[in-house]
C-alpha cells in the first residue's frame, strides 16, 4: 500500500512521465545537470561570452558530443538558450540554479575547512560531490555555524541564499604591472597541487604581493610576498599557470585619474 512515487527526473534512472519541457523552476535537477549549469555559469562569467561546447566539455572532462546532447536537453528545460554552432547562455532560471550550486559548493568548502580541519587543497573535490547530496537545510546550517561567511577558503565569494553574488573586480596576478603591489583576493580551487604549492609560498587570500619582474614571452613572474623572513626568502619565481590562478583585487579606479 506504499504507492511508489513515480519520481521526477530526480536522480537514478526511472521512467514514466511524459515530455517535460518548461522548467517551472521547482523540479529537482540531476547532479549532472547541476554540474553543467555551474560550469556554464563560470565560463560565461570568465569570458563574458556565450559558453562554447568544447570549453564546457573540457571543464567537465566529458566528450564534446555528450555536451551537445546535454545542451539540447537543457535548452528544452529552458535553463539556457542554444543555437546550434553558436555557444549557449543561461536563462534567468538557469542562472538561478547555477548560483544556487555555487553557493552550495562554496558553503561546503568553507565548512569543511572551518569546522572539520580540511586543508584548502582537498575541500574542492569533496564539495564537488556533496553539493548534489546536501539539502538546503544542511547548507543553511553549515553557513550559520560559520556565521554566514562571505567567501570560501579560496577567496571566491559565496552567493546569498536569494542568489545575489557580490562581484568585486579582480584581475589575474599574471596581468599586474611590474612594480605594482596588490592584495591576493582568491586562488583557483580546482588544482590541489597548485594550491599546496601556492600555500608553501605563503600566498593566500589577504596576502600582499609585489611584482618584481616579468620574463618575456608569457614567462615566469618574480614576486615578493609580504610577511616574515628575509626579502630573499619572501621572493619567488612563479610560472604563468600559477600567475593566472592567483587573482588580486583590482586597483581602485579613481574617476578621471592621471
Q: Which is nearer to its own copies, 126 or 224 (by Cβ)?
A: 126
| Among DNA, its own copies, Mn ion, none, residue 126 binds (CB under 5-8 Å by kind) | its own copies
- Residue choice 4, 228, 254, 255 for contact with DNA (CB under 7 A): 4
Is 16 one of the binding residues for DNA (CB under 7 A)?
yes
Of residues 215-254, those binding its own copies (CB under 8 A) = none
- Residue choice 45, 46, 49, 63 for contact with DNA (CB under 7 A): 63
Residue nearest to Mn ion (CB): 189
End-to-end Cα spacing for the chain: 78
The CA distance from 238 to 227, in Å, is 17
User: Nearest-CA neighbor of 214 among 244, 252, 248?
Assistant: 244
Q: Which residues pair with 183 in a beta bridge?
A: 208
Instruction: Give the interface segment with DNA, choosing from 30-38, 156-164, 219-227, 245-253 (CB under 7 A).
Output: 30-38
Min separation Cβ 3 and its own copies, Å:
9
The CA distance from 115 to 59, in Å, is 29
**210: CB partners within 8 A, 6+ apart:** 179, 180, 181, 223, 224, 226
Within the chain, what is the greatest distance between any pair of CA atoms?
A: 78
Of residues 33-92, those binding its own copies (CB under 8 A) = 58, 61-63
x-marked contacts with its own copies along 118-137 as a string, rule CB under 8 A: x---x--xx--xx-xxxx-x
Provide the binding-site residues for DNA, judged by CB under 7 A.
Answer: 4, 6, 9, 11-17, 20, 30-33, 52-55, 60-73, 82, 84-85, 87
Provide the binding-site residues for its own copies, judged by CB under 8 A.
Answer: 2, 4-5, 11-12, 31-32, 58, 61-63, 112, 115-118, 122, 125-126, 129-130, 132-135, 137-138, 141-142, 145
Amino acid at each position: 500500500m506504499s504507492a511508489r512515487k513515480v519520481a521526477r527526473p530526480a536522480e537514478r534512472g526511472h521512467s514514466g512521465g511524459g515530455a517535460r519541457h518548461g522548467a517551472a523552476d521547482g523540479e529537482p535537477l540531476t547532479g549532472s545537470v547541476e554540474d553543467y549549469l555551474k560550469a556554464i555559469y563560470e565560463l560565461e562569467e570568465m569570458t563574458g561570452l556565450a559558453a562554447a561546447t568544447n570549453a564546457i566539455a573540457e571543464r567537465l572532462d566529458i566528450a564534446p558530443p555528450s555536451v551537445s546532447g546535454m545542451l539540447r536537453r537543457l535548452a528544452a528545460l529552458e535553463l539556457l538558450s542554444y543555437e546550434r554552432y553558436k555557444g549557449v547562455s543561461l536563462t534567468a532560471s538557469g542562472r538561478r540554479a547555477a548560483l544556487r550550486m555555487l553557493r552550495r559548493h562554496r558553503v561546503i568548502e568553507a565548512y569543511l575547512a572551518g569546522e572539520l580541519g580540511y586543508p584548502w587543497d582537498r575541500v574542492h573535490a569533496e564539495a564537488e560531490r556533496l553539493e548534489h547530496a546536501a539539502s538546503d537545510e544542511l547548507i543553511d546550517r553549515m553557513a550559520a555555524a560559520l556565521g554566514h561567511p562571505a567567501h570560501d577558503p579560496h577567496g571566491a565569494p559565496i552567493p546569498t541564499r536569494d542568489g545575489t553574488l557580490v562581484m568585486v573586480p579582480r584581475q589575474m596576478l599574471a596581468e599586474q604591472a611590474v612594480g605594482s603591489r596588490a592584495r591576493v583576493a582568491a586562488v583557483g580551487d580546482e588544482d590541489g597541487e597548485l594550491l599546496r604549492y601556492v600555500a608553501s609560498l605563503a600566498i593566500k587570500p589577504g596576502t600582499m604581493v609585489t611584482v618584481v619582474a616579468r620574463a618575456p614571452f608569457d614567462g615566469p613572474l618574480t614576486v615578493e610576498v609580504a610577511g616574515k623572513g628575509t626579502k630573499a626568502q619572501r621572493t619567488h619565481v612563479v610560472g604563468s599557470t600559477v600567475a593566472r590562478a592567483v587573482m588580486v583585487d583590482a586597483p581602485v579606479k579613481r574617476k578621471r585619474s592621471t
